[in-house]
Amino acid sequence: MMKKILISVIMFIAGLFLITGTVYSAENITFHVSPELVKIGIQFNGITLHVSGTIPSDCEAVVRIIGHSQNLNLKKKGKAMGLLWMNLGKIEIKGVPDIMLVYPSKALEQLSKNDKTTWKKLGIGFESLEDTAEVLPESENKSKIFKEFIKLEASIDLYASIPGALTYGDVSGSVKSFKAEIKLPSNVPHDGFKAEVYAVKDGKIAAKDVKAVKVKLIGIPAKISSLAFNHGTLYGVIAVLIAILAGIIVGVVFKESGGAH
Amino acid sequence: MWNMYLPIAGHSVNILLIFGLGGLVGLLSGIFGVGGGFLMTPLLIMFGIPPTVAAASDSNQIVGASTSGTFAHYRLGNVDFKMGFLLLIGGVAGGTLGVEVIRILRATGNADFLIKITYVLMLGFVGFYMFLESLQGLKKTKAEVVVEEKPKKESTYAKIIGMLPWQIYFDKSRVKLSILMPLILGVFVGILAAIMGVGGGFIMVPVMVYLLRMPMHVVVGTSLFQILFTCVNVTIMQAHSNHTVDFVLALILLIGSSLGAQFGTRISKKLNGDQLKIILASLVLIVMVKMLLGLLLEPAVLVSFVGGH
């Protein structure tokens, strides 16, 4: 009797799986980020972040770099008196990340173009930010302002969606490997960010995993930054004195070389 | 290899590019006695430096460039310290007043509109006037070298400034003026500079030439001397309150601009006053046209970060 019940339960569960599809969790994604600590020294000029790992073979991958949430004050440009373009007041955008780089697989890149509604529902791309962010004052045309905001961030390389940079490798059993080379710009925020990997199946997120990446100033940039933020006045005076000294040195050098006379 | 990370701007830049930019602006500074902020700040923003950092670091580099320029002009006997100090006192008072004016204007909402219009009108007026005046001067020196020496009729303006009290003689500038003149004009330039958010060189130079009647070469040296003090003040204030001075950026710029200023001073020496004025007038007009186009053409992005002009 017990055996029959057990078989029925197993069959019921198996049936459920067949109806709803396979259920995945973060454990179905394995990935590695290199480096996990981005060091910014005097010669830092951006860095390539290597993200690689495996996702279930029946899923599509998206790698996303996302920074801390911030509130931004912006100036809005518009036409004054129907003729002159200029700043027409300030707006505030709340709850947007300070960096956002999206690396979708080819199939998902196609989806983002062909089925914008499903792509937006996934909540991975810039489009989905519009729903969670707040634009003040509320009387503003949120959608229009948001589009301009994305353009502004893209112009300084902090928001980007890069097609074709995520590639797949071997399929082994139920998993397939992927890798993405992420170009971090030199103006990457100093307070770190998250590297996220999404496994997408049938227009839904099947699994997601996250790793934190730290950013640290080292060497001369660290010393200058610490002086500027902790002892602002002293830093200003030193900056002025060195500037004056440099000006005098150049002047003297030119005098000695017989320059100005 | 030629890249360097700027810790305050939070951005890496090509050293040669920034050095070249500094050199170019320093050259103009040495020739004309202007700070060059009107050129440098927008160019830095174009290279990805945040607007607030670009403006503050530019002030820092102008300290170096104007030291070098003042030094070179001082050796040529082109700095009127007496006049410079009086203008400076007026300028500081005017600047403080101007900051208050702009605060009131911002509260009423139309500040940016007024600033831009003031800019275009001032630059247009000054540029055209200088251009025409120096063009006439150039023609005159070519055609009427022999027939000069007519007794000049004293203008109403000259009569009025002649009646002001506390007249003193300024040796270097070879003019006799009331000390009220540089003080009042300093206040006027200070107010305009604060409203327009610039160092004031562009307004100060024409004021010295036309209203204080100083010789062009002394104007350049004295203007640089004054700009030095203004920018020392701005740099320290910005470093203290806003932490926006990027010293690494300023240092690269100032090495370029100090060298440029030295070459500029040599070029300035070779040109006569009218030639200098006509080139400066052309530059002023180019900047004016660029600003006007900026007002008339639709920008690529309709929002911008707070801090730029």
Read off the pLDDT of residues A54-104 as tens digits, 9 standing for 90 and up.
999 889 999 999 999 999 888 888 887 777 787 777 889 999 999 999 999
Asked if residues B38 and B294 have their Cβ atoms less than 8 Å apart, the reply is: no
CB atoms within 10 A of CB A205: 16
Residues in chain A with CB shorter than 8 Å from the CB of B7 are 40, 217, 220-222, 224-225, 228
Residue B111: per-residue pLDDT: 63
- List of chain B residues whose C-beta atoms are within 8 Å of the C-beta of residue A83: 296
- Alpha carbon of A242: minimum distance to chain B alpha carbons (Å): 8
CA distance A212 to chain B (A): 21
Per DSSP bridges, beta strands A60-67 and A84-97 are unpaired
Looking at the partner chain, which of A225, A240, A246 has a beta carbon nearest the beta carbon of B258?
A: A246
Band of pLDDT at residue B147, cut at 50, 70 and 90: very low
At position A209, the amino acid (one-letter code) is D
> Is pLDDT above 60 for A167?
yes
* Angle between helix B15-32 and helix B273-296 axes, rounded to 10 deg: 130
Question: A117 exposed, middle or buried (CB, 10 Å; 0-12, 13-18, 19+)?
Answer: exposed
pLDDT band of residue A182 (cuts 50, 70, 90) is very high
| Gap from B85 CA to chain A (nearest CA, Å) | 18
Nearest by CB to A76, which of B60, B236, B302? B302
- Cβ within 8 Å, pair B247-A73: no
Which range in A172-186, B67-81, B87-101, B290-304 is most confidently predicted, on average pLDDT?
Answer: A172-186
Judge if ipTM > 0.85.
no
Helix axes B51-75, A232-256, angle to 10 degrees: 40
Distances (CA, A) of A180 to A64, A183, A235: 10, 10, 41
Min Cα distance A218 → chain B (Å) is 10
- Asked if residue B176 has pLDDT above 70, the reply is yes
Q: Which residue in chain B is spatially nearest to A77 when comparing CA positions?
A: B302
Q: Tell me whether residues B63 and A259 touch, CB distance under 8 A.
A: no
Identify the pLDDT of residue A6: 64
Closest-CA residue of chain B to A83: B296
Q: Name the DSSP letter for residue A158.
A: S
Set of chain B residues whose Cβ sits within 8 Å of the Cβ of A96: none
Contacts of B175 (CB under 8 A, 6+ apart): B169, B212, B213, B214
The CA R_g of chain A, rounded to the nearest whole Å, is 26
- pLDDT recorded at residue A260: 36
Within 8 A of A90 by CB-CB distance, chain B residues are 306
Residue B277's CB is within 10 A of a number of other CB atoms, namely 24
Q: What sign does the CA torsion over B307, B203, B191, B208 have?
A: positive
Q: Which of A221, A233, A260 shows the shortest C-beta gap to B240? A: A233
Q: Which of A239, A255, A260 sits opposite B239 (nearest CB)?
A: A239
CB–CB contact A76 B12 (8 Å): no
Using DSSP's 3-state secondary structure scheme, residue A180 falls into strand
Contact A86 B258 (CB under 8 A): no
The percentage of residues in chain A with a pLDDT greater than 70, rounded to a whole number, is 87
Model pTM?
Answer: 0.74
Question: Are B284 and B127 in contact, with CB atoms under 8 Å apart?
Answer: yes
Q: In which order are the strands placed within the sheet that holds A47-56?
A: A30-34, A47-56, A175-184, A166-172
Closest residue in B to A185 (Cα–Cα): B11
Rounded CA gap, A79 and A74, in Å? 17
Q: Which of A38, A69, A31 is nearest to A185 (CA)?
A: A38
Q: What is the C-alpha separation between B227 and B65, in angstroms, rounded?
A: 10
